[in-house]
């Protein structure tokens, strides 16, 4: 089958984008953070966000979005990427199964760099969840990493979250695309020393 010029251009563009992503992932620790969000509606006037309360580790008893390291086999190409983006693959995989059929879209809205050691990059995705999802009836399966809880968008518990979250979360929920860098004073990421944040049109 012959490919049109536009098709060839799309293939080339996707290939270049994929190489850019993988090149970036190879030089640092690479993580994905997903924020499932229910927009304000009649059922949920203030909207909702799903956060995880960590059971152990540096984040013990604190909340974050759903975080997972990008698998090495996706980065190296041992496992074929379904979306031409290993971070998108990871974001879709770590969504709680209880909400997946209610998700209408998953979008990359932030790329944040954290100075180490070791240096890490977090790819921040927002997953839009239909308001037909009933948070009172649907219980989440037991999770050994964290307990999942819904919060009103105007009652996000920043006082129990990493210090950087309060700086960028509102932007990504609003659909803005941001890049940022953060420097903490210790490995447990308790004290934020400095940061930079900028709004961008696109990432690649």
Q: Give the Å distances, CA to CA, from 165 to 48, 70, 162, 169, 184.
A: 16, 20, 6, 6, 13
Q: Are 156 and 47 in contact (CB under 8 A)?
A: no
Greater pLDDT, 15 or 91: 91
Q: What is the pLDDT of residues 166-181, one digit of tens each?
A: 999 999 999 999 999 9
Q: Give the Å distances, CA to CA, from 106 to 23, 44, 91, 173.
A: 23, 20, 8, 12
Question: What pLDDT was estimated at residue 75?
Answer: 53
Domain 5-200 coded CATH 2.40.30.10: no
What is the model's pTM? 0.82
Enter the tokens of residue 79. Answer: 């496992």
Question: What pLDDT was estimated at residue 161?
Answer: 95
Q: How confident is the model at residue 13 (pLDDT cuts 50, 70, 90)?
A: very low
Question: What pLDDT was estimated at residue 102?
Answer: 97
Greater pLDDT, 149 or 203: 149
| Boundaries of every domain in the chain | 5-200
Q: Report which secondary-structure segment, H or E, holds 197.
A: strand 192-200
Question: What pLDDT was estimated at residue 84?
Answer: 72
Q: How confident is the model at residue 80 (pLDDT cuts 50, 70, 90)?
A: low
Mean pLDDT of 12-30: 51
Q: What is the pLDDT of residues 39-69, one digit of tens each?
A: 999 999 999 999 999 998 888 999 999 999 9
Q: What is the pLDDT of residues 117-163, one digit of tens each?
A: 678 999 999 999 999 999 988 889 888 899 999 999 999 999 999 99
Question: What pLDDT was estimated at residue 8?
Answer: 32
Q: Could you check whether the bond before residue 118 is cis, i.e. omega within 30 degrees of 0?
A: yes
Mean pLDDT of 19-41: 74
């Amino acid at each position: 089958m012959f490919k049109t010029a536009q098709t060839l251009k799309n293939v080339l563009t996707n290939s270049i984008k994929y190489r850019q992503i993988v090149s970036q992932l190879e030089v640092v620790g690479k993580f994905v953070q997903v924020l499932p969000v229910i927009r304000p509606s009649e059922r949920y006037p203030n909207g909702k966000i799903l956060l995880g309360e960590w059971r152990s580790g540096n984040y013990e008893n604190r909340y974050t979005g759903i975080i997972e390291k990008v698998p090495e086999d996706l980065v190296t190409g041992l496992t074929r990427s379904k979306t031409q983006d290993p971070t998108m693959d990871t974001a879709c995989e770590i969504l709680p199964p209880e909400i997946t059929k209610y998700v209408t879209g998953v979008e990359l809205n932030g790329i944040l760099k954290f100075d180490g050691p070791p240096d890490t990059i977090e790819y921040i995705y927002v997953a839009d969840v239909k308001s037909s999802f009933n948070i009172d009836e649907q219980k989440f399966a037991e999770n050994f990493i964290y307990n999942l809880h819904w919060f009103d968008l105007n009652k996000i518990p920043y006082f129990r979250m990493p210090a950087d979250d309060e700086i960028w979360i509102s932007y990504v929920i609003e659909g803005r695309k941001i890049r940022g860098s953060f420097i903490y004073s210790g490995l447990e990421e308790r004290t934020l020393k400095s940061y930079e944040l900028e709004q961008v049109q696109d990432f690649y």
